[in-house]
Amino acid sequence: MVLLAALAGIPLVANDYWLNAVLIPFLIMSLTALGLNLLMGYAGQASLGSGGFMSVGAYATYNLLLRLPELPLPVSLLLGGIISGLVGVVAGLPSLRIKGFYLVASTLATQFLLEWLFNQYGWFSNYSTSSSISAPRLAFLGHDLSSPAGRYLLTLATVVVVTAVAARLVRSQTGRTWMAIRDMDTAASVIGIPVSAGKLKAFFVSSLVIGIAGALWAFAYLGTVDARSFNLDRSFQVMFAIIIGGMGSVRGNFLGAAFMIFVPILLDHLGGGVFGGAVDPGQLENFQKALFGALIVWFLIKEPRGLAALLSRAWTRLASRINR
């Protein structure tokens, strides 16, 4: 509760740069990571289609706002998410037959197909001449949410609600079904767990959450809908976030997203401070990429359950030391 109040109070103290360039993308990245984590960390179905599902959510919400302007904003967001969820179910159909590496390849095909679709057919972007289209005005209950603070609060509220529901879900029968499929799918089907339905539900819920995150990315962060910002790089970024943050953990998504958003900014400032512009920015960017790659490899080897596990272990150690 305290944390929530603090987060809601941030716009009072933070400047627009912090809201626009740091906090909003951090929150949306956390939400996207949560979406993928439900599918990959809980249900064990690896996917590289996150960028594609983000774009479905963004374009669907854009068209709902454009064509049905009488719908309140949260309804459009949710409907956009549901449309993305349904696309996710279709994209998840191959998971009934294939798994692991082959499933990754099939979600990769989904990613490319969706990118192509939104570039190819003008209807999705209302026949806009440029490839990126500006987002409609954001408003809810008469309040204009176009200011940085407004967009931040919209994002925060959405992330809080979706995270609360997801946290419930993973502890419920549905979550147990997903984890059973992840840990041992053959035994799960023998003891009567509906494996196929469980996988498709995981694709649905995951894509729904990622779709909402995609709509927020377009409207609350970028201010434009642009298929190029939902490319394969984005899918990889989300996957790295959950690997670093912790698969099968709700908290891990926020840690992983924080890592993905804050570390590059930190490296930028550090690079600027230490080398005083003596180093070429392009070089610095390459260095960042190499560092990221190394960290991911290190995490996969040393701590497959990510920052979340690292932190909870540190916490237990601290608690036992205090209790002593």
Q: Does 96 bind another protein (CB under 8 A)?
A: no
Residue (150 or 252) nearer to another protein, CB: 252
- Outline where DSSP puts E strands in the chain: 133-134, 139-140, 143-144, 224-225
Minimum separation from the CB atom of position 82 to another protein (A): 12
For residues 156 and 162, give the distance between their C-alpha atoms in angstroms, rounded to a whole number: 10
Contact letters (x/-) for another protein, 19-58, by CB under 8 A?
----------------------------------------
Burial of 74: CB neighbours in 10 Å, binned 0-12, 13-18, 19+: middle
Binding string to another protein for residues 167 to 196, with x set by CB under 8 A, is what?
A: -xx--xxxxxx-xx-xxx-xxxxxxxxx--
Closest to 125 measured CA to CA, from 230, 235, 234: 230
Closest CA to 50 of 213, 243, 257: 213
Distance (Å, rounded) from C-alpha 271 to C-alpha 293?
18
Full DSSP string of 1-30? -HHHHHHHHHHHHS-HHIIIIIIHHHHHHH
What is the spatial distance between Cα 161 and Cα 178, in angstroms, rounded to a whole number? Answer: 21
Q: Does 248 bind another protein (CB under 8 A)?
A: yes
What's the closest the beta carbon of residue 32 comes to another protein, in angstroms? 19
Closest CB to another protein among residues 150, 245: 245
Q: Which of 237, 223, 231, 210 is nearest to 54 (CA)?
A: 210
- Which residue number, 154 or 202, has a Cβ lying nearer to another protein? 202
Q: Which is nearer to another protein, 155 or 249 (CB)?
A: 249
Report the distance separating Cα 179 and Cα 252, nearest Å. Answer: 17
* Smallest separation (angstroms) from another protein to the CB of 241: 21
- Between 137 and 171, name the residue whose CB sits nearer to another protein: 171
Q: Is 161 in the site for another protein (CB under 8 A)?
A: no
Count of residues that interact with another protein, criterion CB under 8 A: 26
Mask: binding to another protein, 201-220, rule CB under 8 A, as x and -?
A: x---x---------------
Distance between CA 173 and CA 32 in Å, rounded? 23
Q: How far is the CB of 199 from another protein (least distance, A)?
A: 13
Site residues (CB under 8 A) for another protein? 165, 168-169, 172-177, 179-180, 182-184, 186-194, 201, 205, 248
